[in-house]
Chain A
Amino acid sequence: MAEIKSLKNPLAERQLTLFRAIIAGLGVVILSLVLVGRLVQLQLLDHDVYATRSDDNRMRVRIIAPARGLIYDRNGIVLAENLPTYQLEIVPEQVEDVADTVTALAELIDIPDRDRERFYRRVDQEPSFRSIPLRTRLTPEEVAAFEVNRQDFKGVEIHAALTRRYPLGRLAAHAVGYVGSLSEADAAGLDPRRYRGTQRIGKVGVEAAHESLLHGEPGSKIIEANAQGRTLRDLEYQGPVAGENLYLTLDSRIQEAAVTALGQHDGAVVAIDPTNGDILALVSQPSFDPHLFVDGIDYVTYAGLNADPGRPLFNRALQGQYPPGSTVKPVMALAGLDAGVVTPRHREMCIGYFMLPDNERRYRDWKRRGHGLVDMHDAIAQSCDVYFYQLALDIGIDHIHDFLSQFGLGQILGVDLPGEKPGLLPSRDWKRNARNEAWYPGETLNIGIGQGFMTATPLQLAHMTAMVAVRGHGYRPRILAARQEPGTRDLIHFEPTPVEPVNVADSGYWDRIAESMEAVVHSVQGTATRSGAGASYRIAGKSGTAQVTGLSQEDEEAPDLLDVPRELRDHALFIAYAPADAPKIAVAVIAEHAGSGGRVAGPIARAVMDALLEPES
């Protein structure tokens, strides 16, 4: 720019401004092009990116949880269902004063402090247009009380939600199980896509075992929402697929009969159809109310259940590992026959105790004066311990282990229920591995009468009984019989799974055992003759009275039942199947600390069998 020295020079000044204006105009054009360039980048080049982000902004996917499949027993009686329950909800932005509204509602409907706290916490946290539940599980009376006054409560509404209900309640709590809040630990093992929107998951029993069938497939709804999250309209809807309905092998009549028969005893009852492994009843007492868990159990109640000495949450049927006692004697006898160490006619002299050579220790018989000269039939019918001491000794521990394990003892049976325990069927190898000790002959004697190291679960005893009932050609126990195809509603039955059959040297041996077990119930000398009285069908059974603690074998006198503390008293056991000639049911009963198996557990087993075989009585 040339320096202009003169005073006012209108022409030069005019030219100067013109020049400046042109430069400015150029600047305007260049800067505008910068804007245009940026706009081209945003609106053309990166358009897809921003279009996606714009859609992400406005579109929300709402997951619709599927309705859980129902659970029926074998006769179509509902064991688990989804009932609509009613809850009182408030939309904070639609009421004038939330606290006043709650106070007014409390005059119509009881609103515990715990519910109020939870409600106010959510009011503080969530957008004010959300409907927030104040009270859940309204009774019909409460619903009516509100409905009559609803015109006074704008912004307050009653909503229906599906809640799991168990019509049998505590009667079948261990078998059917329950659903509870989906925890983070639960979620870790699940397909997150299927469980978006799911809040409850099966925790125990069938509910847990068949979670994947019961759950169903979630649906989804794509909605348009504004920046505050308020739903404006639905854009897309895909309905959920409800979970499959399940039909269990369980028979609720038998289940109820078992619970009733067990009465006040703690213990377990398992009934199996030996012809296919169907579990007809699975009872563990004491039980609990499964509904406690459905809405989310509070800490105090849960701690109380856990601290209860009766351990109501413990599923004795699958997890209780008890000494089987004399209930193993029929299978033990079969092992002896199969091994050829005895014949059915072989006799032993029972003088009330047994002694090993070169040992002073007396292994006592439950009958202090002894059974006298007994053959195998008498030994089973009268449950002579001495006979089985000698027999076990003759068979040998390793062979006992191998033979009895064919009946499912000492191992997981693979029932379709969670938490099954294996029990313990000891052997020389086991003791060496587990305890690093040698096996002593005296320990074999105890195994002969189902004591010592040996333990079994009620499920295992029922399975063992079923195996005997069908002459070794049994099935794996199962609780799921069929599922219902969601679309066609056709029932799809599951085939029973046979277990490895037990073959013995002479199939007649099975008959020997069966006859002796019938004698337990139906002969005059049998240990459980009262259990068979008046039955219209023949029962084959075996009692067991299992020592809880190792009462000294040297005691001359068996202590009187009522003189010992309850927790030291014997467990009463009974196994049975019926009808003896064409078995339809095999039962195992354990009544904890109830004393004599024949007198206490036998009648319980009878009642269970009656429920199937004499339902009208």
Chain B
Amino acid sequence: MSSQRPGQSGFQRLLLNLHIDAMLLTLILIVLGLGLFVLYSASGESSAAVTSQVKRIGLGLVVMMALAQVNPDTFRAFAPWLYALGLCLLVLVLLLGDTAKGAQRWLDLGVIRFQPSELMKLAVPMVLAGFMHSRTLPPKLRTMGAGALMIAVPAALIMRQPDLGTALMIAISGAFVLYMAGLRWRVILGLVLAAAAALPLLWSQMHDYQRERVLTFLNPARDPGGAGYHITQSKVAIGSGGLFGKGWLNGTQAQLDFLPESATDFIFAVYAEEVGLLGVLFLLVLYLAIIGRGLFISVKGQDSFQRLLAGSLSLVFFFYVFVNIGMVIGLLPVVGVPLPLISWGGTSMVSLLAGMGVLMSIHTHRRLLSS
């Protein structure tokens, strides 16, 4: 989509000057709006929950807009510093982080409480993309090794918190950069095999509750009252929604508290129960459009940094969607991954919108670079 074509409207020019990608913004706003309706229902018609979510969305949109103004080259230049800062904060969290729900993830900065791992969701793909940018692509093995190390260190720190889900997301975001950089297929195959081989090792490193989730995923009947209860009730909610759903605010599974975590990780089940398969397909189409737009931005990127970063951010977004929905419909084990732009909760909302801001930055600064 060339922005230099003559005859563009004043509105389009305004958007460009604001560094906003109209299509991406529209899609995001639709999903966010939808999300507020779902949240209102999932939270038991709590306007307080909606209000706090609106505040978070507002913050996220501000961050998105702010990042969109930044030139991608600046991101590339600052990425190593951001990455280093992130590592320091992660170490700090392990030393003196706040404990919430049995895991140390938060850093109390006095004004706001903050999860440094969220910073790494942007910093890791950025620093990797920057690193690859300066190398020949596809990268040599040694480059790959260095890249892998840049992923492994923060991932390991986050796993120590312990936060397996986020560690996985960060490792994946880095892996997507490597993939976009042209990581050879046989290496990918080798890594997949190595990962499979390392599963027992991972198993031994897992906490009991994590093992429990995996075992329950493999056999939900194993613990129908406990860990399996989530997934069973979630499937009942989704399945009972049928084609057209039970109607907004009428999902009995969610409204009568049979569905745990209905406003956070399992909010998709509430949505599927109330709007049915048609509504679910609509949401999936919206998500795919966002991802498609992101991949388009990646392809249109003007240098490797932009292409790799945009590709990684888009694929990570999809990965969120896939893992969350896969978990809620019983295809994947229960991992604490929110549904992008819809689940109740602060940090993931802000970090995902920040990623969107970076995508916009990449797309809207092309003209300036090429001129």
Contacts and interface: CB of A to CB of B under 8 A. Distances in A.
Nearest to B329: A38
B136 A8 contact: yes
Interface string A218-256: 000000111110001000000000000000000000000
Interface size class of A (residues with CB under 8 A): 35 or more
A36 B284 contact: yes
Interface in A34-82: 34-36, 38-40, 42-44, 46-47, 49-51, 53-55, 57-58
Nearest to A57: B258
A12 B76 CA distance: 21
A573 B237 CA distance: 77
B137 A54 contact: no
A20 interface: yes
A29 B291 CA distance: 10
Contacts of B236: 50, 53-54, 57
B240 interface: yes
A14 interface: yes
Given A21-B311, A42-B238, A51-B239, A36 B257 contact: no
A47 B329 contact: no
Interface string B260-287: 0000000000001000110011001000
Contact of B291 (A1, A28, A46, A57): A28
Interface in B303-344: 303-304, 307-308, 311, 314-315, 318, 322, 325-326, 329-331
A39 B242 contact: no
A533 interface: no
Contacts of B182: 1, 13, 16-17, 20
Interface in B185-240: 185, 233, 235-240
A214 B149 CA distance: 82
Contacts of A34: 331
B137 A16 contact: yes
Interface in B170-189: 176, 179-180, 182, 184-185
A24 interface: yes
Nearest to A47: B242
Contact of A39 (B136, B233, B237, B329): B329
Contacts of A44: 242-243, 277
A50 B258 contact: no
A346 to B, nearest CB: 88
Contacts of B292: 25
Contacts of B185: 1
A46 B238 CA distance: 10
Contacts of B136: 4, 6-9
Given A7-B136, A43-B239, A57 B253 contact: yes
Contacts of B35: none
Interface in B26-84: none
A316 B241 CA distance: 67
A18 interface: yes
A24 B295 contact: yes
Centre residue among A6, A12, A24, A44 by max chain B CB count within 10 A: A24
Contacts of B256: 57-58, 224-227, 232
A327 B47 CA distance: 90
B280 A24 contact: no
B217 to A, nearest CB: 14
A24 B179 contact: yes
A54 B254 CA distance: 10
Nearest to B281: A36
Contacts of B314: 24
A42 B237 CA distance: 10
A31 interface: yes
B25 interface: no
B252 interface: yes
B301 interface: yes
Interface in A446-491: none
B276 A43 contact: yes
B269 to A, nearest CB: 10
Interface residues of B, number: 51
A14 B133 CA distance: 12
B315 A24 contact: yes
A204 B249 CA distance: 55
Contacts of B138: 1, 4, 16
B242 A51 contact: yes
Contacts of B184: 1
A228 B257 CA distance: 8
Contacts of A6: 136
Contact of B240 (A13, A29, A51, A225): A51
A32 B315 CA distance: 13
Contacts of B308: 17
Contacts of B322: 31-32, 35
B288 A28 contact: yes
Centre residue among A34, A36, A40, A43 by max chain B CB count within 10 A: A43
Nearest to A53: B236
Nearest to B260: A227
B299 interface: yes
A46 B298 contact: no
Interface string B123-156: 0000000000000111000000000000000000
A50 B240 contact: yes
A39 B311 contact: no
Contacts of A57: 233, 236, 252-253, 256, 258
A34 B256 CA distance: 30
B318 A42 contact: no
B288 A43 contact: no
A54 B252 contact: yes
A24 B240 CA distance: 33
Contact of B304 (A17, A21, A35, A227): A17
Nearest to A25: B295
Contact of A227 (B179, B180, B242, B257): B257
Nearest to B277: A43
Interface string A566-582: 00000000000000000
A12 B185 CA distance: 17
A178 B164 CA distance: 66
Contacts of A226: 256-258
Given A28-B318, A227-B257, A17 B298 contact: yes
A21 B239 contact: no
Contacts of A39: 238, 272, 277, 280-281, 329
A47 B137 CA distance: 49
A544 B307 CA distance: 119
A46 B240 CA distance: 9
A449 B27 CA distance: 110
A154 B358 CA distance: 58
Centre residue among A35, A39, A50, A57 by max chain B CB count within 10 A: A39
A12 B238 CA distance: 46
Given A17-B307, A224-B256, A35 B326 contact: yes
Contacts of A55: 240, 252
Contacts of B331: 34-35, 38
Contacts of B318: 28, 31
B272 A53 contact: no
Given A43-B241, A44-B242, A57-B236, 19 more contacts: A6-B136, A17-B180, A17-B298, A17-B299, A17-B304, A18-B299, A21-B307, A29-B288, A31-B322, A35-B325, A43-B280, A50-B238, A51-B242, A54-B237, A54-B253, A58-B252, A58-B253, A58-B256, A225-B256
Q: 5 closest A-B pairs (Cβ-Cβ)?
A: A50-B239, A54-B240, A227-B257, A226-B256, A43-B277
Interface of B: 136-138, 176, 179-180, 182, 184-185, 233, 235-243, 252-253, 256-258, 272, 276-277, 280-281, 284, 288, 291-292, 295, 298-299, 301, 303-304, 307-308, 311, 314-315, 318, 322, 325-326, 329-331
23 contacts: A1-B184, A13-B307, A16-B137, A17-B298, A17-B301, A17-B308, A18-B299, A20-B311, A24-B179, A29-B288, A42-B235, A42-B238, A42-B239, A43-B243, A44-B243, A50-B237, A50-B240, A51-B239, A53-B240, A57-B233, A58-B256, A226-B256, A232-B256
